[in-house]
Structure 1
Amino acid sequence: MTSESATHRREQLREFLRARRARIAPADIGLPTVGRRRTPGLRREEVAMRAGVGVSWYTWLEQGRDITVSGEVLDAVAKALLLSEPERAHLYLLAGLNPPVARPVSGQAVSAEVLHLLDAWGPRPAVLRDRSWNILAFNDTARVVFGFDGGPQNCLRTFFVNPRYRAMHDVWAAAAPAVVGAYRADAAHFPGDGEFDRVVTELSAASPEFAELWERHEVAAPAQAVNAMRHPEVGELYFETTTLTVAHHPEWSLILYNPQEGSETAGRLDRLHRIRLTA
């Protein structure tokens, strides 16, 4: 980071902390209001007391001085200032630290807007997955193409155990190391998340090929890959995939499948739809 950008970041930190402190009235946190205050909100010493840090240190932080901070102390300041999760992550960035790992929200329903988007991609497969690649929703075309039966699905497991993928052995074998490397890279962002461990443990028992690749400890960047499979009714299908992050829920990824140009996939998908309509 250049000195100019670091200076700008500390200026933004100063303004952010002052604004967050000014919005909290003493009564909001159970403090008595004694006398008249010259400025709105909490005093610096009140924030420092709530955060369990020294008044001088907090003053230096709010002034944007170049001081050493830790995640634990920033969390205490965030709690003292009643920061939301996005505000807490913003505080980390302005203080020069990596944002904290997002706390998973369990049981949150997929919004109607996302479901409508999946359906709008209807002639082509579309899948919504969470951060550990568990499938949260999919459109009807994905159900038909991948053979989903309505039970729990995971994209990593599907790639290794679905016979439709494994039927395209050469393409599958070439892609498998990168798929495993991408999963390991994603897992590193969420240390301590037991769901990644569960997926790896169960898949290692089900697939010797996965277990061998996982033990290599290779890491790969997510790629806009070509997915290939052999459907039992229409034959070989080749898809270009694009992964998009859902803005209001950044732990969710939307996977859109498009027929690869130059292949016969588009025509075969149309034939598959006609077969299903007449079935």
Structure 2
Amino acid sequence: MTSNALGDFLRAHRARLRPADVGLASHGARRVAGLRREEVAVLAGMNGDYYARLEQGRERRPSPQILEAISGALRLDDGAREHLYRLAGTAPDGARPQPGETVSAELRQLMDGQANAVAFVLNPATDFLATNTLAEALFSPFAAVDNLARMTFLDPAARGFFAPWGRAAEAVVAALRHATGLDPHYARLHDLVRSLGGASAEFAALWTSHSVHAKTRDAKELLHPDVGPLALTFQTFDVRGAPGQQLVIYHAAPGSPAAQALTLLGALHATRSER
């Protein structure tokens, strides 16, 4: 990670917009991808030199009013806007406790009670802290169920498991980027980013895009070698009392082919475990 994270973030999001996206006319050849600095400054209603200093890292403590203006100019969604504020040091820094790495017995009991749903707990670095039986069955094609980001980019099984793989890769990187704003001093997260950036060119490219989001509910398309395609929905819940932990549930519509496939998958896994 660079020492000018705020500037990197601004440049990446500026490059995604074209003049037509924000109602500006485009004249002459453009030497940069996306908007020019002065165009962002005009949209945000601020001095162009001041905005340039923000991108260059010469100005690192913009006011909330400035950040709000830039958020509007760059068309940031809620997740990206929150991340911008944290990069600028406006959000409380250091008040958030470091993520817990131990899953409570009560939460494990709750997960084990989800016989027809996949349940697992992740920390902000996407390390698996706990899984229920059906989660073990679902992720069985992977060599190790240890870290979701590592599995997505470095385990060959991921390319066939996540359908499409590109969407899953973008989502996990965007979630990691969001987590760096929430837990800027979490060493495990920064170690993971450095490790994956050195091991995967695809991860490194996605990381520099500065996409940020933390979805709480979405569709998930998977392809398991034992039971075929699985059209699931996932929901994510923050674990109260364990900062940084998230309980993730994958479930299928009752009576759907995916629900039947999950039942079969659980039975196959149980049979193999007995053997």
Q: Structure 1 length normalisation: TM-score?
A: 0.57
CA contact under 8 A between 2:159 and 2:165: conserved in structure 1?
A: yes
Q: The residue matched to 1:230 in structure 2 has which SS?
A: strand
Q: How does 1:172-211 map to 2 (within 5 A)?
A: 172-211=165-204
Change (3 A) 1:276 1:251: closer
Structure 1: runs of 5 or more not aligned: 1-95
Query: 1:275 aligned to 2:268?
Result: yes
Name the counterpart of 2:92: 98
2:152 and 2:104 map into 1 onto residues whose CA distance is: 26
Shift in Å at residue 214 of structure 1?
0.7
2:228 and 2:145 map into 1 onto residues whose CA distance is: 25
Name the counterpart of 1:159: 152
Change (3 A) 1:214 1:191: same
Shift in Å at residue 202 of structure 1?
1.9
CA contact under 8 A between 1:165 and 1:230: conserved in structure 2?
A: no
Q: How does 1:235-246 map to 2 (within 5 A)?
A: 235-246=228-239
Change (3 A) 1:160 1:225: farther
Q: The residue matched to 2:194 in structure 1 has which SS?
A: helix
CA contact under 8 A between 1:226 and 1:241: conserved in structure 2?
A: yes
Name the counterpart of 1:266: 259
2:108 and 2:120 map into 1 onto residues whose CA distance is: 10
Shift in Å at residue 233 of structure 1?
1.1
Q: Tell me which moved more, 187-196 or 169-178.
A: 169-178
Which of 243, 246, 250 does residue 253 from structure 1 map onto? Answer: 246
2:157 and 2:221 map into 1 onto residues whose CA distance is: 9
CA contact under 8 A between 1:181 and 1:220: conserved in structure 2?
A: yes
Q: The residue matched to 2:217 in structure 1 has which SS?
A: coil
Q: How does 1:29-68 map to 2 (within 5 A)?
A: none
Name the counterpart of 2:138: 145
Query: 1:213 aligned to 2:206?
Result: yes
Q: Which amino acid aligns with 1:249?
A: A
Change (3 A) 1:276 1:248: same
Q: The residue matched to 1:222 in structure 2 has which SS?
A: coil
Q: The residue matched to 2:130 in structure 1 has which SS?
A: strand
1:215 and 1:152 map into 2 onto residues whose CA distance is: 26
CA contact under 8 A between 2:158 and 2:165: conserved in structure 1?
A: yes
CA contact under 8 A between 1:130 and 1:251: conserved in structure 2?
A: yes
Shift in Å at residue 179 of structure 1?
2.9
Shift in Å at residue 113 of structure 1?
0.2
2:131 and 2:165 map into 1 onto residues whose CA distance is: 22
CA contact under 8 A between 2:121 and 2:128: conserved in structure 1?
A: yes
Name the counterpart of 1:134: 127
2:116 and 2:125 map into 1 onto residues whose CA distance is: 27
Shift in Å at residue 244 of structure 1?
0.5
Q: The residue matched to 2:164 in structure 1 has which SS?
A: helix
Shift in Å at residue 157 of structure 1?
2.0
